[in-house]
């Protein structure tokens, strides 16, 4: 009973301590406590992540069975079409290589210092779209390094530990990426949106209200403005365009190039700052 009488005092003390802690975490974002726990749990998460991928893969396989037959027919058609395109592109590639060597240019990807990383854990909640990878400051990773996959832009590093890093994806509501529309070179901002994130979509804002600026199917890439993401990384394609109520600007919904639900491996572009 004595304990119960003191309970409000204990709660008040805990509340004050946590509020001070919250204030400190704003002032000192690099928390060593997080680093220690992350370092300890990182190998365990890596182990369980492998199991999780297997379990998830099985359920996805069972769920997708019905679509496989139809998909197979479509894919056969696509293979024929793509084979024709590959032959055509090989010609362009040879020509491109000749011209490149003439101009002594190096491709951006060759200049970029990359490190491969595996996804070992995802956000424990349902509001944010972040994940943890198995590379950290020991591998030269820094906060704000861009993260990509074979499909396109994934996000950026938001927190770094010794052997782990936390990555915020471009579909997270706190994410904002300077973008440009590939066809018209118009600049815009691609923001994460809570209601679109589950379907791997983002919102592209600040597009001028000119019908020719953006059309459905346009490819959107990073603009390089803002200094976090290098220019030219594929974000996705425009799937829908909407005008604001005043008619001054329009926004578009972007279907991201990356399948965030099934992401397993990423490349981190080391910025060498």
Partner 1 sequence: MNQFRQTSPALSWALTGILILLSATLQTTVLRGIEVFHVIPNLLFIIVVCYGLLHDDYSSLVVGVACGLILDLFGGRTMGMNTLLCVYVAWLCLSVSDNLFNHNAFVSMVFVAVLTVPYEVLTYLFYFVIWGKGAGWYAVFCKILPMVAYNFVFALAIHPIVKKISYFE
The binding site for partner 1 (CB under 8 A) comprises 3, 7, 10-11, 14-15, 18-19, 21-22, 24-26, 31, 33-34, 37-38, 41, 44-45, 48-49, 51-57, 59, 120-128, 130, 132, 173-174, 193-195, 198
Q: Which one, of 118, 270, 130, 263, lies nearest residue 192 by Cα?
A: 130
Report the distance separating Cα 19 and Cα 203, nearest Å. 34
Least distance from partner 1 to the Cβ atom of residue 107, Å: 35
| Nearest distance from C-beta of residue 149 to partner 1, angstroms | 17
Which residue number, 32 or 212, has a Cβ lying nearer to partner 1? 32
Q: 169 or 213, CB closer to partner 1?
A: 169
Is the Cβ of residue 112 or residue 205 nearer to partner 1 in the bound state? 205
Q: Which is nearer to partner 1, 52 or 178 (CB)?
A: 52
Q: How far is the CB of 175 from partner 1 (least distance, A)?
A: 11
Considering the complex, state which of residue 10 and residue 82 has its C-beta at the smaller distance from partner 1. Answer: 10
Q: Which two tokens stand for residue 18?
A: 């946590």
Q: How far is CA 24 from CA 1, 11, 16, 31, in A?
A: 35, 20, 12, 9
Among residues 120 and 220, whose Cβ is nearest to partner 1? Answer: 120
The CA distance from 94 to 98, in Å, is 6
144, two tokens: 């704000």
Minimum distance from residue 28 beta carbon to partner 1 (Å): 10
**Comparison of 29 and 217: residue with beta carbon closer to partner 1:** 29
236 φ/ψ sector (left φ>0, alpha ψ -120 to 50, else beta): left
- Smallest gap from Cβ 240 to partner 1, in A, equals 16
**Closest separation between CB of residue 141 and partner 1, Å?**
18
C-alpha span between 206 and 220 (Å, rounded): 14
As a whole number of angstroms, the distance between CA 114 and CA 133 comes to 14
DSSP string, 241-272: EEE-TTSSEEEEEEEESS-GGG--EEEEEE--
CB of 249 to partner 1, least distance (A): 17
Pairwise CA distance, residues 11 & 250, whole Å:
49
Number of C-beta neighbours around residue 221 at 10 A: 22
């Amino acid at each position: 009973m004595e304990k119960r009488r003191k309970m409000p005092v204990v709660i008040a003390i805990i509340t004050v301590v946590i509020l001070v802690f919250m204030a400190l975490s704003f002032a000192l974002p690099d928390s060593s406590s997080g680093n220690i726990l992350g370092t300890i749990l990182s190998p365990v998460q890596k182990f369980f992540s492998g199991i999780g991928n297997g379990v998830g893969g099985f359920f996805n396989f069972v769920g997708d069975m019905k679509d496989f037959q139809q998909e197979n027919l479509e894919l056969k058609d696509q293979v024929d079409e793509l084979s024709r395109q590959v032959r055509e592109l090989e010609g362009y590639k040879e020509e491109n290589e000749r011209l490149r060597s003439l101009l002594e240019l190096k491709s951006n990807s060759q200049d970029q210092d990359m490190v491969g990383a595996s996804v070992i854990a995802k956000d424990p909640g349902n509001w944010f779209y972040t994940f943890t990878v198995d590379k950290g400051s020991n591998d030269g990773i820094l906060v704000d390094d861009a993260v990509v996959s074979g499909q396109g832009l994934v996000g950026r590093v938001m927190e770094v530990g010794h052997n782990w890093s936390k990555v915020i994806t471009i579909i997270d509501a706190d994410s904002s990426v300077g973008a440009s529309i590939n066809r018209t070179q118009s600049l815009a901002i691609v923001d994460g949106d809570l209601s679109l994130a589950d379907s791997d979509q983002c919102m592209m804002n600040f597009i001028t209200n000119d019908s020719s600026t953006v059309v459905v199917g346009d490819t959107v890439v990073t603009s390089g403005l803002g200094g976090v993401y290098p220019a030219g990384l594929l974000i996705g394609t425009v799937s829908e365009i909407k005008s604001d109520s005043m008619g001054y600007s329009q926004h578009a919904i972007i279907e991201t190039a990356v399948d965030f639900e099934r992401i397993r491996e990423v490349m981190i572009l080391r910025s060498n700052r």
